[in-house]
Amino acid sequence: MRFRQLPLTVALLALAWAFWASPTLTEIAAGVAVFLFGMMALEQGFKAFTGGTLEAILRRSTDRLWKSLAFGAIATTITQSSSLISVITISFLSAGLLGLAQGIGVIFGANLGTTSGAWLMAGFGIRVNISAYAMPLLTFGVILIFNRSRTVKGLGYVMTGIGFLFLGIHFMKEGFETYQQTIDLSQYAVAGLKGLLLYTLLGVIATVVMQSSHATLILTITALSVGHITYDNALALSIGANVGTTITALIGAVGANIAGRRLAAAHLVFNVTTGLIALVFIQVFLLAVDTMSGWLGIAPDNHTLKLALFHTLFNLTGIIVMVPFITRLVDVLERRMQPRRIKLDEPKFINETMLETPGAALEATRRELLRLFRRTFSLIAQVLNYETGELRQAQRRTDLATSPERIQITDVDEVYARRIKPLHGLILEFLARLPVSGKRAQQLVMLRIASQDLVEAVKDAKHLQKNMVRYLASSNLYLRDEYLALRQTLGYLLNRLDNLADETTRNDDIELALSELSSDIEEHDIVNNGRLDELIRERRITPEQATSLMNDNSYCYRIGKNLLAMARACFQPFEELDAELREAIELHPDEVREILAEPISEIESNVGDSPR
């Protein structure tokens, strides 16, 4: 552990020595630090809007590749944070809300959007004393941060972030101007191919250290504006910054699933390819920049604006070159990057990175509950003595009417503890940590209740098994037929729900299908349809057998109703449930808070004697 901290210790000591040796350098470093802090505050502010606005726009703006590119570019221009857009995109991709091709389009567009920061700095930040605007922004921003409203607080962080950005730029500019009087860094300029490669590497290192290509570009433009670095070396630094920014995406993908890691790999491929194109055709880009500068009215000696133009041009070229190969890139990534085998107690869709994107997190949890349903499906199928494959492949209700060839007893407690309880607990823990409000709080409650419905179904299946295995082999043909009918009713329900849970074959009108299944359960309830009374009157079964049959019929009924309730909550994406939520779920805010505050231990205790 001490060895791991050694690089950080050495870096801090070296920085402290540099500050002592050159007080002017302290102002430049402080400017970088303030700028980075401003980036963090700005990103924190825009996260306040990821609970709805950004996510809704992303979901509706990625059905076409050009829309994905436009969203990435515009969103990054507005937020000035490609890392925030990358994290949101990875979350949506991990939740299955985006395809890999659409996610790649967003990332490509974000690379173009990040060039807007260079334009703002070169055209506005250098020529205007922006520190005059920093203080009012900081003052108003801090006041708004103390507001309880999430939106107002987010706006406060945005204003504070912009204020710190302005202040950081001011410190960097002042520091370089002062530094110019003591030492001329331009004497360390390196010309030719050697300088191009050296400063590209320095740009990569600076971006990796600061975790922000914006910071590297602003530092480069500031140094270029006062003549501390040459124009050619500044171009190389911007190329390096572009390549180095992929580290942010790679870090963001660490906690993501295979889809998020594939997106991070695509980001790396794009930026490295774009950087190589810029390096190989640097002379062509220089000629293009000079030509376009004349068209745009940029003075020949205005190197800061020409740097911003160069940064935009080679990113745009990278998009033009890479877009035709997106389909091929997707194929390669999906073939080469295979998902590792997920352990039974591991989630597949939910992960830490999603806690900042509630919409994607809820959809991912819904998909995780579908996994939990399939495990519950398999367990109940075993209790009913159906082969899982047989149950899934049945085409008609009559296919499930046959007697089991061999009756076996399933250890429900063991299967529950090994396959269901671990995943159920992870889902509840994830939901408990998810910050939501309003409609999303209602959706979260639906998911928690749905998870409890599955556990209740398992509990009832455990109780049902005791008599099911006994009476399926009974010498009383009437009693055996009734248990076969119960088995058939539950088997048909499981078959249909499994089919509805498959998104590739899903019924267009799920609610109608679920209503028909609910009616089927009511129709085959032998207590309500009078069949139980008929058996007793005709003395087909003994009073003791009637009691067992009535109880087991009740278990079947509850299993069916719990599974149907779960299906109504989990078988449709939440966008399709919004209207139903508004009509059917009107929870008082106090009720929502009470349910959300209920600890996991209480949920399991409420299940009664659920298997443990």
Q: Where are the domains of the chain?
A: 22-336, 353-606
DSSP string, 156-176: HHHHHHHHHHHHHHHHHHHHH
* Cβ(218)–Cβ(35) below 8 Å: yes
Record the tokens describing residue 337, joined without a space.
């990057």
Q: What is the value of pTM for the model shown?
A: 0.68
Q: Looking up tokens 């990358």, which residue turns up?
A: 86
> Which pLDDT does position 373 carry in this prediction?
94
Which residues fall within 8 angstroms of residue 155, CB to CB, at 6 or more apart? 45, 48, 144
> Which pLDDT does position 47 carry in this prediction?
65
Rounded to a whole number, what is the distance in angstroms from the first to the last CA of the chain? 39
> Which pLDDT does position 610 carry in this prediction?
42
The alpha helices in 434-476, defined as continuous H runs, are 439-471
- Residue 33 and residue 39: Cα distance in Å, rounded? 10
Q: 343-352 burial by CB neighbour count: b if 16+ within 10 A, else e? A: eeeebbbbbe
Q: Looking up tokens 């020595």, which residue turns up?
A: 17
> Which pLDDT does position 521 carry in this prediction?
92
* Cβ(562)–Cβ(449) below 8 Å: no
- Residue 424 and residue 201: Cα distance in Å, rounded? 48
- Residue 223 and residue 31: Cα distance in Å, rounded? 12
> Which pLDDT does position 1 carry in this prediction?
42
Mean pLDDT by 10 residues, the chain (612 residues): 58 71 68 74 67 60 77 81 73 76 88 81 64 80 83 83 77 60 55 84 81 77 80 89 75 66 86 90 91 88 88 91 90 82 74 78 90 93 89 86 86 92 92 83 91 95 91 89 92 92 67 90 90 90 91 94 93 56 42 46 44 40
Q: Which of 348, 327, 330 minimizes the C-alpha distance to 339?
A: 348
Geometric angle at alpha carbon 234, from 230 and 239, rounded to 5°: 155
> Which pLDDT does position 424 carry in this prediction?
93
Q: How far is CA 64 from CA 72, 101, 133, in A?
A: 13, 10, 40
Within 13 Å, how many C-alpha atoms sit on residue 490's CB side? 35
- Residue 316 and residue 310: Cα distance in Å, rounded? 10
* Cβ(81)–Cβ(117) below 8 Å: no
Within 13 Å, how many C-alpha atoms sit on residue 94's CB side? 34
- Residue 126 and residue 141: Cα distance in Å, rounded? 24
